[in-house]
Amino acid sequence: MTSRLEKFRELRHIKRRFKYTVLLMIVTCIAGIFVVDYSVSSLLTEKRGIYIIAFKKMKSYIEMSIMDEKIYIDTHYLADDISKLKKIVEKAF
């Protein structure tokens, strides 16, 4: 017969092992995705690198590419928002 303390201690160890197993599985999957992306980009193009997520800065916008879906972010609006945020912070302090 095991005591209540030993039972809950064993339960904590099982939970900890489960968390580490899930974390290891997630890290392995992410590393696998990056390896596949690197291999495919080196086979299809002359460029070698990880291009599953890519950023390019153009003249007035930033091009963000996630799995070849391009998103364009206008930097003019970002600069305006940052200046407004600076004014708010300066007023607060």
Q: Which of 31, 49, 29 is nearest to 40 (CA)?
A: 49
Sheet of 61-66: strand order equals: 53-57, 61-66, 69-74
pTM: 0.61
User: What is the rounded CA–CA span in Å between residue 51 and residue 38?
Assistant: 7
Q: Residue ranges per domain, the chain? A: 1-48, 52-93
What is the full per-residue pLDDT of the chain (93 aa) written as tens digits? Answer: 678 899 999 999 999 999 999 999 999 999 999 999 899 888 888 888 888 888 899 888 999 988 889 999 888 888 889 999 999 999 988
